[in-house]
Amino acid sequence: MKATFQAAEPVPLETSRVRKARQHPRPGRIWMVSLVLALSWIGLMTFVVSGCLLLGQGAAHYGWLALSGLGLFVGMRVVGFLFAQRLHCTLCHGTVLQEKRCHKHAEAQRIPPLSYRSSAVLSVLFTGTFRCMYCGTPYRLRK
């Protein structure tokens, strides 16, 4: 006798939820703050390398280069702080590129030797996306 009904393969009841990256309303400011913070890292590295060369060789131009690197570091940190204050996540209203002492979300991305903010800056500069460190929402900067 031929069966009239044949059951299909079982479908899992729970499907994994993957949140699609949201468009951030101020992508230009995110890019700008990320570039400013990257310039501050370059200033810090210039200061450290020039300071070591100044101690090792004693040439005066390394001192001026170290001072300019320190000035670049401090200036870009101040500018980055002022611009990052007004960048908020559209869901949790946490500051996107400024760390607070709040608990970070389990899905927030962090490269182990760096902080959450530094990891977000590198993600913005190299991929054009980032995750909010407080709610874990993925954002994209392009449409």
In a domain, 4, yes or no: no
Q: For 86-117, what is each residue's pLDDT tens digit?
A: 889 888 888 888 888 888 888 888 889 999 99
Q: Is the pLDDT of residue 23 over 90?
A: no
Q: For 46-82, what is each residue's pLDDT tens digit?
A: 999 999 999 988 788 889 999 999 999 999 999 999 9
In a domain, 50, yes or no: yes
pLDDT > 90 fraction of the chain, expressed in percent and rounded: 42
In a domain, 12, yes or no: no
Q: Which structural domain range is residue 124 located in?
A: 22-140
As to burial, measured by CB atoms within 10 angstroms (0-12 exposed, 13-18 middle, 19+ buried), residue 112 is exposed
In a domain, 73, yes or no: yes
Our count of domains for the chain comes to 1
Output the pLDDT for position 12: 67
In a domain, 131, yes or no: yes
**Secondary-structure breakdown of the chain: helix, strand, coil percentages, each rounded to the nearest 5:** 50, 5, 45
In a domain, 14, yes or no: no
pTM metric for this prediction: 0.79
Q: Is the pLDDT of residue 40 over 90?
A: yes
In a domain, 57, yes or no: yes
In a domain, 9, yes or no: no
